Structures are given as structure tokens and as C-alpha cells.
Structure 1
Amino acid sequence: MGFAGADYLGGMAQQAKYDRREQYEQIVSGLLPGETIIAVYDAVGVGTGFIGLTDRRVIMQDRSFVGKRVAITSIPYGKVTAVSVVSNKSWAGSFFSSGTIAVHVGTHTYEVDVRGVEKTQHIHNVILHYASSH
């Protein structure tokens, strides 16, 4: 996992986290003025892409479209109605070993599979933090 730049969450400065430099750079190229990256995590499974978190939105890349097409979806935190983690671990147990992050926007749900306890927990907590402050 790499670290780049500085960003802000929960009152403390920290480095942006990412799995793959090229995914991080793709997010950087599409940032709005004043927008800061928190993390960019690689997705796992069929049609993989990534999930990016900034201080303004969730960015998901989906490579599962026919004809090698790729979709990049930006979801402002103010539009998120709920965030879920689907996992085989209990919430009260050792949290998540890996799982699916589901971001609910109105009646639509965007899902991405991620690997690792820390990544899954971090994605969930960042989205919840920013969505609940809107």
C-alpha cells in the first residue's frame, strides 16, 4: 500500500492511502479545485476496478461493462442515503476480513468488493463520517 499527499479526516492530518499508483493518479487527474484524496483501494473479483474516497465524494470505477468499456461513477456524500458492509464476519466479532461495500443512493445501490479488514473498515467509516455530516 502506498501513501501520497496529505489529507484531513477526524481532526488529524494523514497521508492518502492507495493500493495501486495508477489508480491514485487517475483520481488525482479528475479532482475538483480544493478536493483532497483520502484513499484509493483496489477492487477484487469479476469486473474489478477501484473505489476512491475524497473529502467530497466516493468515486467508483467499474470494468465489468461489455466491450471493454469502463464506468467511473462519482457520488457526492450528500447524496449517500446509507453505507453497508456485507461480510462473513460478525459486526461485534473481529470486524470484517473482507467484504462488499454497498453505497446506497436513493433507490440505487453501488457495490464494490474489497480485500482486508483495515480497508473495509476505513471505507465504511469515511463514507459514514462524510455522509452523516451532510
Structure 2
Amino acid sequence: MDVIYDKKDQLQKIEAHLVTGETLYAVFDMKGGGTGFVGITDLRLIFMDQSFVRKSKAMVSLPFSKITAVGSDDSGGIIFGTSKLIVLAGSRDWEFEFRSNDKAHKAYELIMRNLLQKEAKGLLH
């Protein structure tokens, strides 16, 4: 599977944070100033968060095991009529605003596929 990405420099930044054996699926450029971009791997979300540590930029790693919910911002009752996803992990939530509804939907599919696969494996053991 080829990696989906918007900007080559963002792809390279995410690749530099991968661990041995980790598979990168996508790197999406974000709208707005809070989160510059997000990478989706088989193990976690990796994203640049400009609000994580006192107004400085930080590369944040969010393992799928810590994610408790993923939501799509409701835009008039239309499924994926918005480009925003909200990811909850513990008492913290992150909002990601993608460049298009299609990219938000693709990210949702990748995240949910990983969450559900890990959930199914956990139930089998």
C-alpha cells in the first residue's frame, strides 16, 4: 500500500518518528493553526501540535490503545459533511480539521480499522 500524503516535507517529518516495523498509511495536512499535520500508522497517530506544550510545537504520539472514541463533527446531519474529526483519549481530546471531507473520511476509516482490529484481537485472547 502506497502512503497517502499531502506534502512531502510533512511525510518526511513523520517518517523520522517511526519505530522499526511500524507501517505508515497516511500523512494529512490540516487547516487551522493548532495541528499542522497528522500521520496515521498501524500503531498510532503522530501529529504536530502547536498547543501541546505552552505555545511551542511538539510532535505528539497517540497510541491506538489510548484512543477511546473518534467522532465526526455533525454538519447539518450529513455524514462526513464536514472535514473535522475529534479524537478522544482519556480526559483529552484533539480536533483535526482536514483539507477536505474526503480526506477526513479516509482518515476516519484508517483510524477505525486499526481500532477495531486491535479490539477484535483483544477479545480473542
Q: Deviation at 1:111?
A: 1.3
Distance 2:54 2:87 in 1: 26
Distance 1:117 1:33 in 2: 32
Distance 1:119 1:41 in 2: 8
Structure number having the greater strand percentage: 1
Distance 1:115 1:47 in 2: 14
**Is 1:116 aligned with 2:103?**
no
Instruction: Kindly provide the amino acid, as one letter, of the partner of residue 122 in structure 1.
Output: K
Q: 1:57 aligns with which of 40, 44, 51?
A: 44
Scaled by the length of structure 2, the TM-score of the pair is 0.83
Cα deviation per residue 1:5-51 (whole Å; 9 max; x = unaligned)?
xxxxxxxxx21100000000001111100011100000101334001
Aligned to 2:86: 102
Q: 1:34 aligns with which of 9, 18, 21?
A: 21
Aligned to 1:5: none
Count of residues in correspondence between the two structures = 118
Q: Unmatched 5+ residue regions in structure 1? A: 1-13
Percentage of pairs with the same residue: 34
**Is 1:43 aligned with 2:27?**
no
Aligned to 1:70: 57
Structure 1 runs (4+) deviating above 3 angstroms are 64-68
Distance 1:45 1:33 in 2: 31
**SS state at 2:114 partner:** helix
Q: 1:24 aligns with which of 6, 11, 16?
A: 11
Q: Deviation at 1:68?
A: 6.3
Q: CA RMSD in A?
A: 2.0
